[in-house]
Amino acid sequence: MGVEYLFGSKEREVIQMRIPKHVGIIPDGNRRWAKGNGLKKEQGYDHGLTPGVKVLQQAQAYGIEELTFYGFTVDNCKRPKEQLTAFKQACVEAAKLMMKEKVSLLILGNTKSKCFPEELLDFTKRTNFNGGGTKVNILVNYGWEWDLSKKSEEANKSIRSSLYSSDISRIDLIIRWGNMNRLSGFLPIQSVYSDIYVVKELWPDFKTEHLEEAIRWYDKQDVTLGG
């Protein structure tokens, strides 16, 4: 456990802090990084491996109990073949690196598609390594629709049509006043791909500039819908 992880010289500070038990990691930017460094897009993923181990070790030093990494999704599989091969391989490598640490590892995703890497099939049940420790979940060929479909496999109805809120469509932009960056249970299914814009001011202090700025910001965001 490196002291450098413990908030520099004030190592006691971490003890008094409210440490999250479970942290989600969305490790975005590998392809942009590759482009920015004169590499092909698919060469970025390899450079995302070391950060994964670093963030795990740091989380362990902080006392974080569970980490979930967003590997790749069912939708990501539509990407060009070179990229698909590269991020599948990166997930396998990432899992192997995690296995060298004190972790309780779970690989979660739809195993019934050829996108799921065979090498990881054995780890779709939680497995202890080096005596176990931090719960580490890696989402591999994960899909939110797949996840929610478990309940009604027999009913064969899509999750969207099975909501009380089925008359409310997918949300493109969510604007939250009051400076918190969270959804608080707001339409989880319609929010899966939404861009979230946070306004510092409290709602009663609404100004038309807020929506204006949110729209300007939204205009600059990439649309991927998970693709």
Q: Which residues are catalytic?
A: 28, 76
Segment lying near a second copy (by CB under 8 A), choices 12-20, 80-88, 92-100, 113-121:
12-20
Say how far apart CA 227 and CA 130 lie, in whole Å.
Answer: 36
**Near a second copy in 43-102, by CB under 8 A:** 44, 47-48, 50-51, 54-55, 58-59, 62, 66, 68, 70, 73, 75
Q: Does 132 bind a second copy (CB under 8 A)?
A: no
State the number of binding residues for a second copy (CB under 8 A).
110
Return the residue matching tokens 């008359």. 167
Segment lying near a second copy (by CB under 8 A), choices 30-38, 79-87, 92-100, 114-122:
30-38
> Which residue, 84 or 187, has its beta carbon nearer to a second copy?
187
Q: Does 148 bind a second copy (CB under 8 A)?
A: yes
Inter-residue contact 90 to 45 (CB < 8 Å): yes
Q: Does 30 bind a second copy (CB under 8 A)?
A: yes
- With residue 139 as reference, give the H or E element that holds it: strand 134-142
Say how far apart CA 99 and CA 176 lie, in whole Å.
Answer: 39
CB 104, min distance to a second copy, A:
10
Instruction: Provide the token pair at 31.
Output: 């392809």
Say how far apart CA 78 and CA 227 lie, in whole Å.
Answer: 7
Inter-residue contact 200 to 176 (CB < 8 Å): no
**Near a second copy in 161-180, by CB under 8 A:** 162-165, 167-180
